Amino acid sequence: MYRPNFIIKWLFPALYRVKGEQSLFFTFDDGPCPETTREILAILRQHNIKATFFVVGENILRYPDLMSEIINEGHQIGNHTMHHTDGFKVSTTEYIRDVEQCQRIIETFTTQQVKIMRPPHGHIRWSEMFRLRKIGYQIVQWDVIAHDWEADRSVESVVDIVHRYSRPGSIIVLHDSHKAAARSIPALRIICDTLSYTTEKSRTSM
Ligand SMILES: [Zn+2]
């Protein structure tokens, strides 16, 4: 499934696509990660694209310099929990605590006012979602997911999914994780070279 269906969207009200926008919104999950994030930043810089990085708290602690680089390049930061926590596997209280722990670390790096959050694996319970919304988080899911973490998927297939399913306002997920690097980095290069949304390239941040 490369695009969430209407039942999921109806059940879990979150941001899937920025309607009324002509831009594409690139998002990168699971970093920062030394082998991957820096390469992704270089490609984005070359194409003058601003993206959103949904970072994992424990990775920020491991690679604080990389976290600063993302921010210094002008990208937006989103919360992807402290431990890449699956919302279906812990209690609501534990989940909120995990998100808040990550947020406190994010806030030591950036003055960004908006609190945006993406649930790892897309898994979030109603109770978790409503609690997070109540304390000011906007939940951001996606319109296009390119399965770049799958080891047996080709770079061409990742590119093809992005080309085929993207539409104005689409929020696209790629990963700057070690696991996805072999696909996400070369795929992003091709995608950026072949974007048909050229005039909006610099506005690809939520
Ligand atoms: Zn993730």
Structural domain that includes position 112: 6-197
We report the CATH number of the domain holding residue 92 as 3.20.20.370
| Contact of 134 with 97, CB cutoff 8 Å | no
Q: How far is CA 66 from the centre of its chain?
A: 16
Residues bordering ligand 1, an ion, CB closer than 5 Å = 29-30, 120
- Confidence check: pLDDT of 141 > 80: yes
Does residue 205 sit within a domain?
no
Task: Quick: pLDDT tens for 25-62.
Answer: 999 999 999 989 999 999 999 998 999 999 999 999 99
Active site residue 152: no
| Contact of 187 with 159, CB cutoff 8 Å | yes
Does residue 204 sit within a domain?
no
| Secondary structure class of 142 (helix, strand, coil) | coil
Whole-number pLDDT of residue 4: 81
Task: Give residue 99 CA to ligand 1 midpoint distance, Å.
Answer: 13
Q: Give the chain's domain count.
A: 1
- Confidence check: pLDDT of 9 > 80: no
Does residue 206 sit within a domain?
no
Task: Give residue 72 CA to ligand 1 midpoint distance, Å.
Answer: 23
Does residue 81 sit within a domain?
yes
Does residue 12 sit within a domain?
yes
What is the phi/psi pair of residue 171, to 5°?
Answer: -100, 120
Alpha helices in the chain (DSSP H): 6-11, 34-46, 57-62, 64-72, 92-109, 126-134, 155-165, 181-193
Task: Give residue 116 CA to ligand 1 midpoint distance, Å.
Answer: 14
pTM: 0.92
Active site residue 65: no
Whole-number pLDDT of residue 198: 46
Whole-number pLDDT of residue 205: 56
> Residue 179: pLDDT band by 50, 70, 90 thresholds?
very high
Task: Give residue 44 CA to ligand 1 midpoint distance, Å.
Answer: 20
